Amino acid sequence: MVQDRIDLKNLFVEIRRKGSTSQVSRELDVSMGNISDWKNGRSVPNAVSLVKLADYFGCSVDYLLGRTENRDMI
């Protein structure tokens, strides 16, 4: 079954674990506005951003998208 809404809760768990949104924004060259839009459900990260985020946090894209609770990369 296809999800009709992307759940980014794990992304924000990882951001809090790593420090702050401003730190993640700087280190990944992603605007604070984009992160705010993701958090508030106004938009979702594109594929390139998702891969950058997963690499940065050392987890899978599926974990960031809430498709699994297993944060390990495959």
Please name the fold of domain 9-61. 434 Repressor (Amino-terminal Domain) (1.10.260)
Return the domain boundaries, the chain.
9-61
pLDDT value at 6 more than 60 = yes
Closest CA to 53 of 23, 22, 14, 19: 14
The CA-atom distances, in angstroms, between 22 and each of 16, 69, 73 are 11, 25, 25
pTM of the full structure = 0.79
Instruction: Dump pLDDT digits (tens) for 48-67.
Output: 999 999 999 999 999 888 88
- Any residues with CB less than 8 A from the CB of 13 and at least 6 apart, and which? none
Q: Would you state the pLDDT for residue 16? A: 84
